[in-house]
Chain A
Amino acid sequence: MTAAKRVLDVALTFLAITALTFVLSRFAPGDPYVGDAQGGVANDATIAAWHELRGQGESLPTQYGRWLLASLSLDFGRSFIDTRPVREHLVEALGSTLLIAGAAALLTYALAIPLGVYLALSRKKLLAGVVDSGLFVLHGVPVFWGALMLGLTVSASGLLPTRGSFILPVLCLTYPGLARIARYQKAATREAAASPAVLLARAKGLPEALITRRYILRAALTAPLSLLAAELPWLLGGSVVVERIFTVRGMGMLTFDAILRRDVPVVMGATAVVAIVALLSSLVADLLHARLDPRVRA
């Protein structure tokens, strides 16, 4: 498939996702009316007036079209709840999410890649086995459980300030990925170590350290890159569980609250951001993968 076609696909998928979200959020039961506070209790006339003020009297296609046009210039409208621009909400939430998710991603890769290489090349079978099993167990620990346990032990001990500390949420977002990426790295390193190039080098009698550096690592380190592309939308989407337990106001909680309150403009804005990042990173990953590995021509 040509790159142009691929880009066209991304655009169409984006349209489909946002249109579907729009229709879903409008037809979901429950009324976003918040005249007298969250959810509200009012008569029909009051509620009709409220919707009228928010441009909800028009036909659905008109509303969606208007939203789409405005969103092209990054204008996602105003929140139903506090009438602030959705963009402001998104910027604030992305700020916290990027901080936590960015730190978690850095930490994950900084730990997982050396670990994976170590596990693949280590000759200390026992130690490697223990580390490997430890990672395996960590991977099975549900995030909300890990977060609760951490919260239970650390918050109560008073070691960290109660509020505003990003250490615990970062840890909770780090450990599940650690196992995943370390094991992926391990597999990739093993694969590289068994490649014909390495066998040839070894047959030529090159020193082991040089082989590792020049042939194995160089080949193996490109592998986790494509994984990062796949992780990106997840990191940006924010983790509802972690954000909820540690009261972080990130993308997860923003979207969660917006869905609960039927704050359609915020739901749409958040969906658009996450969808576009997901689609673009998948596009980039594919293109990158194709460039690195000519056999892959999807």
Chain B
Amino acid sequence: MIRKVAIAVISAWLAIAVLADVLANDRGHAVVGWAPDTVDKSVTPVSPPDGAHWLGTDTARRDVLARLIHGARLTFAVGFGAALLMVGLGLAVGLASGYGPRWLDRLLTRLSDAILAFPIFFVALAVMGVVPHPGTELVVLVIGGSAWPPLARLVRAETKRLKTQDFVRAAEAMGASPVYVVRRHVVPHLMPMLAVALAFGVGTATMVEASLSFLGFGVPDAVASWGGLMRGAAQHLGAWWLIVAPGLALLSLVLACNVLGERLGPASGRLLSDRGAP
């Protein structure tokens, strides 16, 4: 039941993201008659909801609802992009660590330690500062590229456990190559764990992206994002319309992902202990 609700929520947001351009544009025949980057020169910044702007306007006098709808795109792009990257890196490093030679294990474990020593925000800040035109891909890279160590640890432990199992030993005894063993006997066993990690990863990445945008170091200002909308609220403390709707949107998506993650497998208890936002 709860799982169905979660899937429904995620599907609904996905549909909104896909149909964003149809739902909100200034070419007519749209549910919301504003494009996400159209400035309404007839109002002052952060104007409250009214007939023209159902959810009010943001600091740059753009329609909040239109930006909320288009922001779903970015949320999914970054959420899934970063989560996939995280799972890919976590799997690769975990396998290499667990199945590879000892020196490699030692090196990779220390690398994980080093990455864990930095709060993600500082990695983001440093990288955003180095690149001349930071864009959405970079946000994906930063979030995905720094979130993999906890998963790598789990994969490594699981791989080590599997390595001592009879069916793996048997395959090795029959002369199977390491790549074959990993692909045929190790990875399939890791699948449930990876699915859980992916679900939680989407939720976490979404949250981190919003936090970065909130601090002004996420995607460029012109790109509609939920965290970016909420940034305006820090300067206008009375502007509840900048916090409530994007915040609830974010919360619904993160919760749905977490529910899905938890229902997918038993490993969740451990994965939930990842840290979220910076």
**Could you list which residues of chain A lie within 8 angstroms of chain B, going by C-beta atoms?**
1, 9, 12-13, 16-17, 24-25, 27-30, 136-137, 139-145, 148-149, 151-152, 155-156, 176, 179-181, 183-184, 187, 227, 233-234, 237, 239-241, 244-245, 252, 255-256, 259-260, 271, 274-275, 278-279, 282, 298
Contact = CB atoms under 8 A, between A and B. Distances in A.
A149 B247 contact: yes
B230 A227 contact: no
B117 A233 contact: yes
B175 interface: no
A241 B215 contact: yes
For chain B, the bracket of interface size reads 35 or more
A278 B115 CA distance: 10
B117 A279 contact: yes
B251 A141 contact: yes
A43 B170 CA distance: 72
B243 A136 contact: no
Given A24-B130, A298-B109, 8 more contacts: A9-B106, A137-B251, A139-B258, A139-B276, A142-B250, A244-B215, A278-B116, A279-B117
Interface in B103-160: 106, 109-110, 113-114, 116-119, 121-122, 125-126, 129-130, 132
Given A183-B272, A184-B273, A234-B275, A140 B251 contact: yes
Contacts of B240: 152
B119 A237 contact: yes
A17 B114 contact: yes
B106 A142 contact: no
B187 interface: no
Interface in B201-248: 203, 207, 210-211, 214-215, 227, 230, 233-234, 237-238, 240, 243, 247
A17 B255 CA distance: 35
Given A9-B106, A239-B278, A180 B272 contact: yes
B99 to A, nearest CB: 15
B51 interface: no
Closest 6 CB pairs of A and B: A278-B117, A187-B269, A140-B254, A140-B255, A145-B247, A275-B117
Contacts of A141: 251
B106 A1 contact: yes
Interface string B52-64: 0000000000000
Contacts of B254: 140, 142
A12 B121 CA distance: 24
A48 B122 CA distance: 28
A144 B211 contact: yes
Interface of A is mostly: helix
A274 to B, nearest CB: 6
A275 B119 CA distance: 10
B203, B259, B276 pick with most chain A CB within 10 angstroms: B276
Nearest to A20: B114
B39 interface: no
14 contacts: A24-B126, A28-B130, A142-B207, A142-B247, A142-B251, A142-B277, A144-B214, A144-B215, A144-B230, A176-B276, A234-B275, A259-B125, A259-B126, A298-B109
Given A143-B277, A245-B234, A183 B269 contact: yes
B167 to A, nearest CB: 21
A136 B255 CA distance: 8
A282 B113 contact: yes
A217 B122 CA distance: 39
A259 B173 CA distance: 54
Given A148-B233, A245-B234, A140 B203 contact: yes
A285 to B, nearest CB: 11
Given A145-B251, A180-B273, A184-B273, A13 B243 contact: no
Contacts of A278: 113, 116-117
B277 A241 contact: yes
A259 B126 CA distance: 7
B132 A29 contact: yes
Given A149-B243, A180-B272, A240 B121 contact: yes
A205 B233 CA distance: 61
A278 B126 CA distance: 19
A12 B230 CA distance: 41
A209 B216 CA distance: 54
A292 B237 CA distance: 49
A137 B248 CA distance: 12
